Structure 1
C-alpha cells in the first residue's frame, strides 16, 4: 500500500508545492477565507472529489467514498492566515499587506488537497469513507471555526468514527513527526483587566489613587497562582502580554488596562486557576481602594489525543518514514481549535517536522520570518493517506472481530 501511495504522491508532488506557494502569496484572515475556499473547491472539482460547502461560511467538506463498505475517517486542515507583515524575501511572499501564513495553514490546506488526490485515485482500495475537512478561522480564538462547522452540520450526514489533524512543526526536522498518546496542546484562555483609581499630579500622590501601583502589585500577585496555588506537577502559565496606562511622566494614572493569556492541560487545573485569578484580581485592587473590571474568555480546550488512534498514527508514520520517524516529544501549551473536534470524536493531532536545513535561523510559528521546509510536505500528504487507510482497516477489523 505504501508503494501505491508513493506512486500517486509523485504524481501530485509538484502541484502540492505550487498550491502551497499560491496560498502563501494570497493569505486571508480568519472568517475572510473566501478566495481560499474557492481555490480549495476548484481543486476538489479538478480532482473529481465531491464536496459540500458553506460550513462556518467558508468551510468545505470533501467526500471520498471507497469501493467497499466501511466506517468513516475525517482529516482536517485549517485555512486562515495571521495579521502579520511578512519579512521573508523568497519569490512567493505574501501579496497582502499585514497578512501572512505564519502558522503553516497554507501547507496544511495544500497537503490535504494532495491527500485527497491520492485517496481518490485509490478508491477501490478503501473500505469506508474519507472526509476532507477544510476549516476556517482556527486563529480566531476564542470563537474559532471548528465549533461553527459542527453547529452547521458538517458531520450530520457522515459522522466520523475517527478524526485526525496535522500541524507543521519547526522544532522537528523534516522526516520526523510528533505524536503523543494524550496531551498534545493546551487550553488557551484570555483575559482583559481594567484597573481604575484616581488620577492627579505626580507631586501630590496623597490626593490620588495610583492605578499603576495597583497594577504592579496585581501582576506580581497573579504570578503566585502557578507557583503557590497549583500542583507543581501540572503545567500551567499566566502571561501578561500587554499593558496600557498613564498619560505622562508627571501624571498619576487613573486607569491601566492589561491583557494576557492563561494556558493549562488539566480541566481541574484550568478551573482552579480561573477561580484564583478572579479572587486575587478583585482582592488586590480592593486592598488599594480601587475598582476593577474583568473580561475572561474561555478559549480552546486542551488538545488531548485518543491513545488508540495516536498509536495507529505512530504506526502509519513509521511505515512511511522509518523506525526513527517518531521521537518522544513534550506537549505544547499553544492552543489549537482542533481540540473541539477531539472533544466530540476520538482521534489524534500530529506534528509534522518542517525545520529548515539552516536550523539556526529557523523562526518560530507566528513570526514574520517564519519559513518551512517544503521537502516535508510530501511526507505529510502521504502520511495522511496512510493513516486514513490504516484507520479504516483497523475499524473494519475491529468490527469483524465483534
Structure 2
C-alpha cells in the first residue's frame, strides 16, 4: 500500500531514530523529545495538541470523509542506563539510554503519520498519533494520565494499536497473539523485624537474615504449589538489604521484588498467598513482617479480532511466515491500560541484529536494533490504520 513512499522515507526515519537515540530523556522529563515530535508533525503538515498534564502529544489526521477513529501509540521515554554501544549515534547523556527502543517507536510513528497525512483525503475517519511519555515509570506509567487528559478525551479512539521492537524476532517478522500478550507487573517490599544480638550468642536474638532466607525459599512454593502448572506466574526477589556489622545479628532485613502473572485471578491469588505466607514464616521463627504489595501495570490483553487483523496485515506486507506463533511475555507494559478501556492490539516487531550471535535483551546497556526493521514498522502501522478504518466504518 505504501511501498514506494516508504522507500523514499526510509532514511528520514533512520535519522529521526538516531537523533532521538542520541538525546534520550527519562520519564516525566521528555521536554526536548516533545518539542522534536511537534516540529516533525509541523513539517509534515499534521495538526497536533500537547497534553495538559504531561509531555504527551497527539497528532490528528482527519480524513476526507467522516468515520470512526483509530489510534496508533508510541512511547517516548528512556532508561537510567549508561550505554556501552560503540556507534555514531550513541547517547550523549552519561546515564540515560534508549535501551527499550522507544526512540524507534517514536520515529516509526512519525513516519506512519507522514504517510497517512499524504493519504488523508482517501481516509474515512480520523487517525490519532499518540506519543506517550513515562511508560518506564512503573507502576504509575503515563498511559492512564494520557487517557484522563482533557485533550485526549476530545479524540477518544474506537480502536488502538501499539508496537514494540523485539530482539527475539528477526527483521521481517512480527509477534502477535489473541489474548494475553504481556503480563501483570506488580512489586512488593517485605520488612522483617527480629531482635539484634551478638554473633556469638544467637539464642538471645532473632536473626532477621535467617528469617529472610526462609521467607525467600517459601515464596517459591507459591508458584509451584498454589498456581496451576497451566497458568503463568513468577516471583523474583531483586534486592536484599540488612545487617550492620559482621559480628552483630541483624534486627531488620528488607526484601524487594516483583510478581509477574498473566491473569487477574492468578494475580489476586499470588498476592493473597504471598502476604499470608510471609507473615506466617516470620511469626513461626519469632520475628514479625510487614508487606507492602503494589499493583503495577495490568496485563496487555489483545482483542482477538484485532490481533487477527494485525496478523493479516503483516502476512500481506511481509509474506508467508511473517507472523509465527509466539508465547506471551511476563514483562510489564503500560499499553495494557489502553486495552482495558478500548479494543485493539499490541504486537512485537522483529529487530534482531543478524551479525550478533547473541541478541542483547531489552533494558541492556548494549541493546540496539537492526534499522532495516524501521520501514517494516512504519508500513505495518500505517497499513493497519487504513484497513482498520475500513473495517470499523
TM-score range, shorter chain: over 0.9
User: Separation in 1 of the partners of 2:32 and 2:302?
Assistant: 32
Partner of 1:400: none
Aligned-pair distance for 1:10?
2.0
User: Separation in 1 of the partners of 2:51 and 2:307?
Assistant: 30
Aligned-pair distance for 1:201?
1.4
**Which 4+ residue blocks in structure 1 deviate beyond 3 angstroms?**
none
Q: After TM superposition, list the pairs within 5 Å mapping 1:124-273 onto structure 2.
A: 124-273=121-270
SS at 1:233 equivalent: coil
How big is each residue's C-alpha offset from its partner over 1:226-262, in whole Å with a ceiling of 9 and x where there is no partner? 1001111101111101111122322211111111000
How big is each residue's C-alpha offset from its partner over 1:33-53, in whole Å with a ceiling of 9 and x where there is no partner? 111011001111111100010
Q: Is the 8 A contact 1:22 1:92 kept in 2?
A: yes
Is 1:42 the counterpart of 2:39? The answer is yes
Q: Is the 8 A contact 1:55 1:149 kept in 2?
A: no
SS at 1:133 equivalent: strand
Aligned-pair distance for 1:290?
1.3
Aligned-pair distance for 1:154?
4.2
**Which of 349, 353, 371 is residue 352 of structure 1 equivalent to?**
349
How big is each residue's C-alpha offset from its partner over 1:312-356, in whole Å with a ceiling of 9 and x where there is no partner? 111111121112110011110000000000000000001000000
Partner of 2:386: 389
Q: Is the 8 A contact 1:318 1:326 kept in 2?
A: yes
Is 1:341 the counterpart of 2:338? The answer is yes
Aligned-pair distance for 1:69?
1.5
User: Separation in 2 of the partners of 1:229 and 1:156?
Assistant: 42
Q: Is the 8 A contact 1:76 1:135 kept in 2?
A: yes
Aligned-pair distance for 1:185?
0.4
Number of equivalent positions = 393
Partner of 1:70: 67
Partner of 1:83: 80
How big is each residue's C-alpha offset from its partner over 1:107-162, in whole Å with a ceiling of 9 and x where there is no partner? 00000001000000011221110000000000101100000111113432222111
**Which of 314, 317, 325 is residue 317 of structure 1 equivalent to?**
314
Q: Is the 8 A contact 1:56 1:136 kept in 2?
A: no
Query: What is the Cα-based RMSD across aligned positions, in Å?
Result: 1.0
Is 1:6 the counterpart of 2:3? The answer is yes
Q: After TM superposition, list the pairs within 5 Å mapping 1:342-381 onto structure 2.
A: 342-381=339-378
Gaps of 5+ in 1: 397-402
User: Separation in 2 of the partners of 1:349 and 1:391?
Assistant: 14
